[in-house]
Amino acid sequence: MQRFRNFQNQCTMSCNAQYCIPIIILTLFFNACKKGLPNQPNCTGNCVTININGNTSIKTSSAPLPNEPVDVTWIHNGYCIFCTTYKIASGKTDNDGKFNFNVTIDSTFFKDYALHVRVPTDTNYILVPFSGSTNYSDVNFYEFNPDSLQKIKFYFYPKTYLTIRLHRTLTDNFDYFSVQHQFTNEISYSDYLITGPQFAKDTTLKVVTSADMYTKIAWQKTVINGQSIQKNDSLLCTSNGANVFDINY
């Protein structure tokens, strides 16, 4: 941090635009992170009070997940460098894993912003819905519909690992060979893809999945004439089990 400040001071003194502009942007970002998100502006027109509620739970056991942080924010739609993200509400789930916010918003914000309800990820769980972020999962609302803000559900799947062992036992020709797995219809993992037999070899994959439920495994081979051959199987993975699945191809 001290190096950054020294470089920032040098940049300010030299006024070299090549270096100053990136440093100014980093400084603004750093200061914004320190201060946290600003609250949404006070509503002066098109004001409406909405209720945002839902729950967090462990999917495999249906047990509630208490004390889980929940944030509600306005995030600008589309590409925007200096647009502000506003905090609407924040809190934690109660002992029953429930969250409940009553807030007043300006409904015209939906013209340029989306309302995001999000919870942080946990290294011990796989969080659904999956947003593609390593830091949080969110549910997004792009238009004003109060009913859609009710009964929002975040599911936490206990994380474990699955070892998929690929054995090249055939001598056939093919265009593509792929492997994927899933434990819920909401997430599918593409684990392996090769484009021809010259790349085929014995391979071991270690992939993430959910414990205490069946993981579906699918492998597909596209042969030269365009036909596809797909096979499917499943394995009940556990937290402490070996969780090994063998595929001969």
Which residue, 41, 76, 188, 173, is CA-closest to 128? 188
Domain closes at, from 103, 126, 150: 150
Asked if residues 101 and 93 have their Cβ atoms less than 8 Å apart, the reply is no
**What range does the domain containing 114 cover?**
47-150
DSSP 3-state assignment of 10?
Answer: helix
**pLDDT averaged over the chain?**
87
Q: DSSP label at 83? A: P
What pLDDT, on a 0 to 100 scale, did the predictor assign at position 194?
98
Could you read off the pLDDT of 81-137 as tens digits, one per residue? 888 999 999 999 999 999 999 999 999 999 999 999 999 999 999 999 988 678 899
| Alpha helices per DSSP H over 97-241 | none
Q: Are residues 51 and 124 in the same domain?
A: yes
pTM, full prediction: 0.78
Q: How far apart are CA 237 and CA 116, in angstroms?
A: 33
Question: pLDDT at position 35, please?
Answer: 54
Domain count, the chain: 2
CATH code, domain carrying 185: 2.60.40
Task: Give per-residue pLDDT as tens, 167-204.
Answer: 999 999 999 999 999 999 999 999 999 999 999 999 99
* Band of residue 226 on the pLDDT scale cut at 50, 70, 90: confident
* Cα 143 from Cα 105, distance rounded (Å): 13
Residue 51's pLDDT band (cuts 50, 70, 90): very high
Q: Are residues 145 and 220 in the same domain?
A: no
Spatial contact of 58 and 106, defined as CB atoms under 8 Å apart? no
